[in-house]
C-alpha cells in the first residue's frame, strides 16, 4: 500500500485556498519543503532567501537550484525576494526556517516594530548560539513577541521525504489554541497530517535534545555498534529527554510517546537523511570535530545544541549523562570510544 492511500484529504482548489498572508524566511531544504506544503493551502506566500542567485533561479525556472531541486515552485503563487524587510511587511504570519546558527544574523535587519502583532511560526530546530536561548525565548526577548503570538511546527519530517510526498505527521504547538489550529490548517494536506499541542516550550526543547541524541547514535554506529545496541541507546535517550524536559518545563499533559517527541527522535537517530547522525558517524570513524564539520558541508544543529544545553543545565544541575558525555567529546576532546563505552555500562 502506498503512502498516498492513507491521505484522503481533498486538495484545496485555488478558489478555496486560505487568504492569510504568510512569509517564509530561509532558503534551505526545510524551507523549500515548507513552501511545497503550504502552497496547496495558502493564496498569498512570500519567500525570503539570502541568495540573489537562488531567488532569480526560482523566479525564472520554478526550482530551488541548491535544495530539493526536484520540487516545482510556481513563481506566480510564491513571490520570492531577498529584502527581508519587504517580505515581512507583506505578511501577517512569519514562518522562520533559517538555521539557528544563522538566525541572529539573518534577523538583524528587522526592528521590533516590524514584527509587532505578527504571528510567528518557528520551524527552526536548534538554539541561538549568540544568546544561548531557545528560539522562542530569543523571539520574546529580542523582538518582544508575546508567547501567545508564537507557534512551532515540528515532528518527524525530513525535507527529502516531503519532496517525494511521503506521508508525514506534524504538530503545531502554541499556548494560543486558536493559533495552533490555524497553523495546523496551513500544514495539513494530502500527504501531511498536523495535530495541535499546547506544549510549545517542551516540544521545542525536545527538538533540541533529539539532535544531540541523533549525533550520539551516529557516533555509536561509527564505532561499530549494531542495531540491537543502538535501539537500547535510543530508549535511554527517551528517558533522559523526558526527565530533562520535565525539569525545565513541567507539564502534566505531556506524553513523550507522541510523534513530536519520540517520533522526531527516532527519525533523526535512524534516518540516512539525518545530518546529525552523519556528523556523529564521522566522529565515530575517528575524524576530528573540525574535519567532520568541513566534510558535512551542512549545519549540524546537534553540535551547537550540545554546548547550549550544557550551559542551560548549569542552572538546573540535572543528571543528563548522555548529553554531557557527547559534550565532552565535542568540546573537551575526550576519548570517543572510552567515553561512549563508559555511559553504555549504565544503559538498561
Of 2, 189, 165, the closest CA to residue 70 belongs to 165
Of 240, 239, 217, 211, the closest CA to residue 229 belongs to 217
The single residue listed with the C-alpha cell 535534545 is 209
Distance, in Å, from the CA atom of 336 to the CA atom of 207, rounded to the nearest integer, reads 24
207 grid coordinates: 527538538
The single residue listed with the C-alpha cell 503550504 is 38
**Per-residue H/E/C for the chain:** CCHHHHCCCCCCCHHHCEEEEEEEECCCHHHHHHHHHHHCCEEEEEEECCCHHHHHHHHHHCCCCCCCCCCCCCCCCEEEECCHHHHHHCCCEEEECCCHHHHHHHHCCCCHHHHCCCEEEECCCCEECCCCEEHHHHHHHHHCCCHHHEEEEECCCCHHHHHCCCCEEEEEECCCHHHHHHHHHHCCECCEEEEEECCHHHHHHHHHHHHHHHHHHHHHHHHCCCHHHHHHHHHHHHHHHHHHHHHHCCCCCCCCCCHHHHHHHHHHHHCCCCHHHHHHHHHHCCCCHHHHHHHHCCCCHHHHHHHHHHHHHHHHCCCCHHHHHHHHHHHCCCCHHHHHHHHHCCCC
Distance, in Å, from the CA atom of 236 to the CA atom of 213, rounded to the nearest integer, reads 10
The one catalytic residue among 36, 118, 125, 210: 210
Of 51, 105, 119, the closest CA to residue 83 belongs to 51
- Residue 210 annotated among the catalytic residues of the structure: yes
Catalytically active residues, by annotation? 210
Amino acid at each position: 500500500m502506498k503512502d498516498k492511500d492513507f491521505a484522503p484529504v481533498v486538495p484545496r482548489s485555488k478558489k478555496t485556498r486560505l487568504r492569510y498572508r504568510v512569509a517564509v524566511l530561509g532558503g534551505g531544504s526545510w524551507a523549500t519543503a515548507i513552501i511545497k506544503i503550504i502552497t496547496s493551502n495558502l493564496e498569498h506566500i512570500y519567500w525570503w532567501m539570502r541568495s540573489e542567485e537562488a531567488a532569480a533561479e526560482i523566479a525564472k525556472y520554478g526550482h530551488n537550484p541548491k535544495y530539493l531541486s526536484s520540487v516545482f515552485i510556481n513563481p506566480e503563487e510564491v513571490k520570492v525576494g531577498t529584502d527581508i524587510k519587504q517580505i515581512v511587511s507583506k505578511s501577517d504570519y512569519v514562518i522562520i526556517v533559517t538555521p539557528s546558527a544563522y538566525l541572529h544574523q539573518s534577523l538583524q535587519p528587522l526592528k521590533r516594530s516590524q514584527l509587532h502583532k505578527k504571528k510567528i511560526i518557528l520551524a527552526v530546530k536548534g538554539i541561538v548560539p549568540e544568546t544561548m536561548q531557545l528560539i522562542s525565548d530569543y523571539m520574546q526577548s529580542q523582538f518582544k513577541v508575546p508567547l501567545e503570538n508564537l507557534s512551532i511546527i515540528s515532528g518527524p519530517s525530513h525535507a527529502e521525504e516531503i519532496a517525494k510526498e511521503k506521508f508525514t505527521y506534524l504538530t503545531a504547538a502554541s499556548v494560543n489554541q486558536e493559533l495552533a489550529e490555524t497553523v495546523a490548517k496551513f500544514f495539513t494536506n494530502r500527504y501531511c497530517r498536523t495535530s495541535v499541542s499546547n506544549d510549545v516550550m517542551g516540544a521545542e526543547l525536545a527538538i533540541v535534545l533529539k539532535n544531540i541524541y541523533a549525533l550520539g547514535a551516529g557516533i555509536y554506529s561509527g564505532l561499530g555498534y549494531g542495531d540491537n545496541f543502538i535501539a537500547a541507546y535510543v530508549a535511554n535517550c527517551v528517558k533522559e529527554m523526558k526527565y530533562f524536559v520535565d525539569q525545565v518545563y513541567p507539564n502534566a499533559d505531556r506524553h513523550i510517546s507522541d510523534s513530536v517527541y519520540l517520533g522526531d527522535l527516532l527519525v533523526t537517530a535512524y534516518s540516512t537523511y539525518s545530518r546529525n547522525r552523519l556528523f556523529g558517524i564521522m566522529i565515530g570513524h575517528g575524524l576530528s570535530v573540525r574535519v567532520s564539520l568541513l566534510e558535512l558541508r551542512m549545519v549540524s544543529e546537534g553540535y551547537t545544541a550540545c554546548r547550549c544545553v550544557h550551559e542551560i543545565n548549569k542552572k538546573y544541575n540535572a543528571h543528563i549523562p548522555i548529553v554531557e558525555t557527547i559534550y565532552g567529546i565535542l568540546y573537551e576532546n575526550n576519548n570517543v570510544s572510552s567515553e561512549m563505552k563508559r555511559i553504555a555500562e549504565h544503559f538498561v
